[in-house]
Amino acid sequence: MTHTPTLSLADAADLSRPPVDVTVVLDHLVREADAAAATSVGFPGAVDLDQSEVMARLGNRLWNNIGDPGDEGGLAHTRVLERAVVAWVADILAMPADDRWGYVTTGGTEGNLSALHAAHRRHPAARIYYSAAAHYSIPKTVEILGARSVVVDARPDGEMDYAHLAAQVRKRRRWPAIVVATAGTTLTEAVDDSTRIRAVLDEHGVAGHLHVDAALSGIPLALDGQLRLDDAGGIGSIAVSGHKFLGVPTPCGVVLIRDRARTSGNHVAYTDTLDTTITGSRCGLAAALLWHAIATHGREGHRWRASEARTLAAYAVYQLTAAGWPAWRHPHAFTVVLPTPPEPVRKKWLLATDGDTSHIICMPGITRGQIDAFVADLVTAAVPPELIPRPRLSPESDASTAGH
């Protein structure tokens, strides 16, 4: 006899104590995820791509890309696909072919750690500057590296305050600087201006490294030519996420480092691989999924996906504003920022919230029907107009309701 668990947290221990009806457990998880999907508009994961072929063909075997993506041999691996992914992302970022290196990571956090580790090894005395709107993985990385850091103010719309950066760099001009710019902050999807950051460093004669944490916006901005790692831009490294815009159904990402900014790794005798990556064993399935997402859509397909998602975000701003709920977005963004809705609406729609500000993210796969249902829920929450909060954040870049 098998028992059918109800899957509350209290039952977690029961779930691994046989006999367990595994099918019931898996069905339950899938049902819960399916039920949440219709109102899941707060997390930046695309839901429009079908990866079932890769999962069916490769999902039942260990694919271990241990070592450097350039290594050959060893256990079953997908390093050839990983190299294809790295080359594609480097190409859309206009990285020079002879000055690039990268690998498929477990996500944005590992990408940031890998890039900042390389930068810190080259500039051990550097101060690491990042804005108050940077992702929480940045202060965590600073702590892991044992580095000294400086938090730079962020403007109300989420972008770095360059005057404050300049003031902080001026005080510490005798040390090199590692500056982390964000391309797509977590709350407003703001993009820090790497040209202005470079100008601050140049103006103060400070050497160092510019890293871009582009977990969300890296791929879509690169496809539009708005983010480049060529010689002119002065960006030394970038981390992008694979489970956000590219919709890969397992957490992953890509880190890219201008090769001359990287310190090479040691050869490991027993695996016969080069130790250049943060983790040893690495997920070859993730590399295959990323490759599949890229190979089946190509540059133009992904540009179209980004453009459709931005059109939907503009529609959401329009509908929310028309319903009396003041929303806005940066022109490039999938993210729509709005005053935090009443609790039941916020919970039902799984909104990301920071105090009086929330956002929805119109990732590829989110539909007009979902936006209409969300706006309808806000309206029927029947908040008297005088109680509707005013937006805390006022973008300097795009006050319009339409965007593009």
> Which residue ranges make up the site for ligand PLP (CB under 6 A)?
107-109, 135, 137, 182, 184, 186, 213, 215-216, 241, 251, 253
Amino acid at 75: L
DSSP state of 367: -
Nearer to ligand PLP, 54 or 183 (CB): 183
Closest distance to ligand PLP from the beta carbon of 170 (Å): 27
Nearer to ligand PLP, 147 or 255 (CB): 255
Closest distance to ligand PLP from the beta carbon of 392 (Å): 20
Which structure tokens are listed for 235? 């960006």
Closest distance to ligand PLP from the beta carbon of 385 (Å): 33
The answer for residues whose C-beta is within 8 angstroms of residue 338's C-beta and 6 or more apart is 320, 325, 326, 327, 328, 357, 358, 359, 360, 391
Nearer to ligand PLP, 197 or 206 (CB): 197
CA 29, chain centre distance (Å): 25
3-state secondary structure 1-21: CCECCCCCHHHCCHHHCCCEC
Nearer to ligand PLP, 206 or 332 (CB): 332
Nearer to ligand PLP, 114 or 241 (CB): 241
Nearer to ligand PLP, 131 or 168 (CB): 131
If residue 94 lies in a helix (H) or strand (E), which one and from where to where?
none
R_g (Cα) of the chain, nearest Å: 22
Closest distance to ligand PLP from the beta carbon of 293 (Å): 16
Closest distance to ligand PLP from the beta carbon of 191 (Å): 10
Closest distance to ligand PLP from the beta carbon of 217 (Å): 8
Buried b (16+ CB within 10 A) or exposed e, 226-257: ebbbeeebbbbbbbbbbbbbbbbbbbbbbbbb
